Structure 1
């Protein structure tokens, strides 16, 4: 199921939106069109209907807005630290250099390539990592450390081997057939972990057009926390953590949320929802 827990784990999630530049280039659109008008045409070309006006577009046509990760480190003395990483770190301006796709994506890929963590995601093999590869290539990035693959599985870290141990896609672990595969929201909520709260993924493009970068990053952080907590539960299920260790690992996340909550009040709302669901599952 899950073969090992590395001393460094990044449970991550990413948010993206249709890229206006991609729309202008692919469909030869007038440069005077607004970004909102370009996105409307992209959705039209992507098969929009009255029932589904914003269909899911190919990820190559989308730009990354935010990437968040819960970072777990086991130090040489055995102590565990849990931190929250969010890109971009500043959220005041969607047009600032730090909010550009190149800055967000290259920092994440460079960090993964240098730190070599065990990656954990939900639908990350088919979606997140493939989208990062597509956009990295499209943007002309140079990421040899991230892209490196060993000649043999036991000779190094490989993020691209399906069924490998360095990139754990929780969806693949629990997947069924088609409609029987649970979403992250379903799997988490039924486990007593917050799933989607006030925002859903299909709202992100409009939030981006409205300049609500802070709200997108907050939503991204929620999903990263949810992915990490679900990973903890699955690691406990698979025998890597006993009951006491699992409880301690959850306490570290609570401490993280309380610590960060002073500057990020939305995290305290996440904690409140977590406590409510926990009570329901233990009643």
Structure 2
């Protein structure tokens, strides 16, 4: 049983808004402004499926946040800057995979984040050979790659913890809160479009970062659950994260640490 993480781990989450440019073109909504186009897209989707949640290919990525954990490094940040366009965000994400070949960790990444990134990388002409490798270039990827649902190079915690049974899926916010972690902070996914319209891209990025922090904390608990982190290793990694947050200057990271410490105190 390890007392430390043995390989690079990249926990990530994306935030999206309606791809109104594609919506106008594909759904015959020419002449409408962005807000009205989005309303029409939501309504058409509701009529078709009973839910306003848009099809994956009609989501535009506006934030990708990451926790990168190696033996020597632990950091949380959002890729690019507030001014970065979608193509840059997607390119930077896949460049990280090319550089580190990390274990990817998500919450519902197999059901949402990665399919969206597939369509958006296709749209923007982003090349990602290591991500798409299934053993032709690196034999180690033949039986453990990013694409197979049952491999471990991409660990979708929601899917794995549910035993790959959709009826057993649980929301990130509830599982995080159940375990004494902060859960959702600042906003929820349904509020991202409104925040974008209000020009609050920084708020979206901060919200996305708190989501990956929750996911990382659950991941550490899961690594202990499956015997890859000893109790001492789990405590060490949690302490390392708390120290990183304590040293951070950003108010949302300080707020996350305070909420985590408060939740932990109230559960003891």
| TM score, norm. by length of structure 1 | 0.86
Q: CA shift at 1:6, angstroms?
A: 4.6
Looking at structure 2, the residues matched to 5 and 272 of structure 1 have their Cα atoms a distance apart, in angstroms, of: 25
Q: Secondary structure at the match of 1:83?
A: strand
Matches within 5 A, 1:143-162: 143-151=128-136, 155-156=140-141, 158-162=145-149
Q: Secondary structure at the match of 2:70?
A: strand
Distance change >3 Å, CA 191–CA 154, structure 1 → 2? farther
Instruction: Tell me, yes or no, if structure 1 residue 117 matches structure 2 residue 102.
Output: yes
**1:14-56 CA deviation, whole Å, 9 max, x = no partner?**
111111111111123234x32111111111111169xx9x811
Please give the root-mean-square deviation of Cα atoms over the aligned residues, in Å: 2.2
Is the CA contact (8 Å cut-off) linking 1:35 and 1:209 kept in structure 2? no
Instruction: Tell me, yes or no, if structure 1 residue 270 matches structure 2 residue 256.
Output: yes
Q: CA shift at 1:145, angstroms?
A: 3.0
Looking at structure 1, the residues matched to 218 and 146 of structure 2 have their Cα atoms a distance apart, in angstroms, of: 20
Looking at structure 2, the residues matched to 34 and 113 of structure 1 have their Cα atoms a distance apart, in angstroms, of: 38
Determine the structure 2 residue equivalent to 1:24.
Answer: 24
Determine the structure 1 residue equivalent to 2:223.
Answer: 235
Determine the structure 2 residue equivalent to 1:35.
Answer: 34
Matches within 5 A, 1:48-67: 55-67=52-64
**Structure 2 unmatched ranges of 5 or more:** none
**Structure 1 unmatched ranges of 5 or more:** 75-79
Determine the structure 1 residue equivalent to 2:73.
Answer: 81
**1:207-261 CA deviation, whole Å, 9 max, x = no partner?**
111111000000000001011010001111211112221111001111111222x
Determine the structure 1 residue equivalent to 2:156.
Answer: 169
Looking at structure 2, the residues matched to 6 and 58 of structure 1 have their Cα atoms a distance apart, in angstroms, of: 37
Equivalences, count: 261
Looking at structure 2, the residues matched to 230 and 193 of structure 1 have their Cα atoms a distance apart, in angstroms, of: 8
Q: CA shift at 1:268, angstroms?
A: 0.9
Q: CA shift at 1:138, angstroms?
A: 2.4
Looking at structure 2, the residues matched to 159 and 173 of structure 1 have their Cα atoms a distance apart, in angstroms, of: 14
